[in-house]
Structure 1
């Protein structure tokens, strides 16, 4: 089975502009869906498996997931320079726009159309997040243990309302232990 050819790594400026464009054209959640589409599906700079591994790491680390993901993708593609470019590209341009928009929004907040537009943008963000969740769920191995861990995490958080911190800590430990043991057995 041959592996598909992957295009050469992006230049620093290409990477910066991709992150900047994603950051400036996204609103609310769903950025991981845009990152997947851009880096895996459109540009093929990484595989879906690499992306989902990075997403898992990014979500496990403290801080903003999309910032963690941008740093990880940047590092994966261009080393320490890419990590810095990913961070700056995903954070700085939107921060500037947010300050400018705040001035405009404060003067428009009294109009009902403003709230309608924000509701529509939020719905689009939910759709992108759902798309990313479905993509990730499809990539989960169809083994009993990962499915039990996934279902158990859902039940614990969504139905039983257990504290997210403890559920993630326990489920994360069990997942890592399972992957470690499975990896050792497969060797």
Structure 2
């Protein structure tokens, strides 16, 4: 009975911790959406070490590709990755609850604080700081994920497509996925061809070595046979000479 109660308590505790960590992300991150990603990464990767950098990259890619707010999608992904459906629910509620509570309070007093110079100034500085946080996260992710020339070119192309031509993030991600599949397929085919060519060359070298070894053995055998015949001829000549001397 005690073990069951202890297990139940531990189960509730882990969901509560997950909820609280994402609640703090939601309440202390201003800017929403992509601005929450640096804080989420700080908590789940560096502080709690719940997931790795590679898992965080996968999380962002999936969250950005699906409908909805990227921060909420990320919380749902991470919660589900850790504790299944209940974990996803706890993390999602945690990251959404602060915004839900704060927006109700702000709307209630919007008329009184909307034109306040201090509030406007604070939001001006906050937005600039959020941009800095996003840039830091982008640099960290680039160092982790961009490991070859193809990935750097693809990242630059996606940036140009979104910034200059107004392509949506969904199409940029899907385009990157398609090009990545093509690139990896070509790379694997080349590796397979190189492996096949290397195997053929090795077989050819082995055949040449076997042929050379066969020739050497044949030569040695011929030499040995020749030596035997020569010895017999010498013995016959000596016998003839002995018979002539006897006569």
Q: CA deviation at 1:94?
A: 1.9
Counterpart mapping for 1:54-73 below 5 A: 54-73=59-78
* Gapped regions of structure 2 (runs ≥ 5): 1-10, 193-247
Tell whether the 8 Å contact from 2:61 to 2:173 is kept in structure 1 after alignment: no
* Gapped regions of structure 1 (runs ≥ 5): 1-8
Aligned to 1:133: 138
- Cα offsets for 1:138-182 (capped at 9, x unmatched): 1123212211211111222323x1533544432332134435666
Q: TM-score, normalised by structure 2?
A: 0.65
Tell whether the 8 Å contact from 1:31 to 1:128 is kept in structure 2 after alignment: no
Which one has a bigger Cα radius of gyration?
Answer: 2
Tell whether the 8 Å contact from 2:18 to 2:79 is kept in structure 1 after alignment: yes
Aligned to 2:156: 151
- Cα offsets for 1:44-81 (capped at 9, x unmatched): 11111111111111111111100000000101111111
Per the alignment, do residues 174 and 155 of structure 1 end up closer, same or farther by CA in structure 2, a change over 3 Å counting?
same
Aligned residues: 178
Aligned to 2:100: 95
Taking only aligned residues, the RMSD between alpha carbons, in angstroms, comes to: 2.5
Per the alignment, do residues 185 and 51 of structure 1 end up closer, same or farther by CA in structure 2, a change over 3 Å counting?
farther
Point out 4+ residue stretches in structure 1 off by more than 6 angstroms.
Answer: 183-187
Counterpart mapping for 1:3-82 below 5 A: 11-29=14-32, 30-82=35-87
Aligned to 1:163: 167
Greater helix share, 1 or 2? 2
Distance 2:189 2:84 in 1: 29
Distance 1:26 1:58 in 2: 18
Tell whether the 8 Å contact from 2:26 to 2:97 is kept in structure 1 after alignment: no
Structure showing greater relative contact order (alpha-carbon pairs closer than 8 Å, 6 or more residues apart): 1
**SS, match of residue 42 in structure 2:** helix
Q: TM-score, normalised by structure 1?
A: 0.84
Distance 2:137 2:66 in 1: 19
